[in-house]
Amino acid sequence: MRNGRAPRREGGFTYLGLIIFVTVIGLVGAATLKVDALLRRAAAEEELLEIGAAFGEALRTYAEATPKGQPQQPPTLQELLKDPRFPGVRRHLRKIFVDPLTGKAEWGIVWANPGDKRGVLAVYSLSKAKPLKVANFDKRFSGFENKKHVSDWKFAATGQALMQGQILAQDKPPPPGQPSLFQPPAGTQQEPPSLFPGRGATQSPPAEEAPPSAPPPSEPAPDKEDKENKEDEPAAGDRQAPPVT
């Protein structure tokens, strides 16, 4: 009996160990795939930044080569491949790159004239994915920190920055004096009103109170001697009439 039960117990332990081993291998494999996907995604974002920098440099050289009196923005991206303003072949961009996040050579464009869709101000990815990179950007990509989507990375001409109204509303910013439609940037907090009057650093001093008006003139108080003399004088009824002669 003992010799018959021993192989069954050993077989049970072997089967349990095999299940644990397969589970561990599966977890390790899943973690490896996840890490590999994150690394690929980070590499794609870095490639996107370099492609965006190439678009920005092409927009800059196009603007610098613009004759006086002509628009400095190309009508479309095709004018960056071959500038039609010059008789010879002049290229600002060697090709329309493929977006490494979408896998397509299609890009979003911030237009100078949104109604006619002419005048390229900036180029951006059409991907709505959340970026892994949110800080430590190169100085070429100012304003890219803490963006919610990759499509928020707007690649304008190198050394130039887009106005907030042109990026969000695709239109000109409001004229001076008109209240802004956008919330103040993060990090600027308004000071709450002080709960203790007179202690706030920015609280205006209280208005000076008017001096109290002078009391109306009154009769001078009687001196102490006059008061004593009046007390010594007899009352009107107590006075004796002068003797008749």
pLDDT (0 to 100) of residue 164: 43
Q: What does the pLDDT look like over 42-84, one tens digit per residue?
A: 999 999 999 999 999 999 999 999 988 889 999 999 999 999 9
Look at residues 103, 99, 13 and name the one whose alpha carbon lies nearest to residue 54: 99
For 141-179, the DSSP string reads GTT-TT-SSGGG--EESTT----HHHHHSSSPPPPTTSP
Q: What does the pLDDT look like over 180-218, one tens digit per residue?
A: 333 444 444 545 444 444 444 444 445 555 555 555 555
3-state secondary structure of 63: helix
Strands 118-124 and 155-156, sheet pairing: antiparallel
Terminal-to-terminal C-alpha distance of the chain: 170
pTM strictly above 0.85: no
Look at residues 88, 152, 154, 85 and name the one whose alpha carbon lies nearest to residue 120: 154
How many whole angstroms separate alpha carbon 24 and alpha carbon 129?
A: 31
More confident residue, 224 or 52: 52
Cβ atoms of 60 and 150 within 8 Å: the answer is no
Of the pLDDT bands very low, low, confident and very high (cuts 50, 70, 90), residue 150 is very high
Q: Is 26 left (phi over 0), alpha (psi -120 to 50) or beta?
A: alpha
User: Residue 109 forms beta bridges with which residues?
Assistant: 123
Amino acid (1-letter code) at residue 7: P
More confident residue, 15 or 2: 15
Phi, psi of 108 (to 5 degrees): -80, 145
In this structure, the dihedral spanned by the alpha carbons of residues 74, 80, 81 and 86, taken in order and rounded to 10 degrees, is 70
Q: What is the CA radius of gyration of the chain?
A: 45
pLDDT (0 to 100) of residue 36: 78
Amino acid (1-letter code) at residue 36: D
Question: Which strands, in side-by-side order, build the sheet including 108-113?
Answer: 108-113, 118-124, 155-156
Amino acid (1-letter code) at residue 197: P
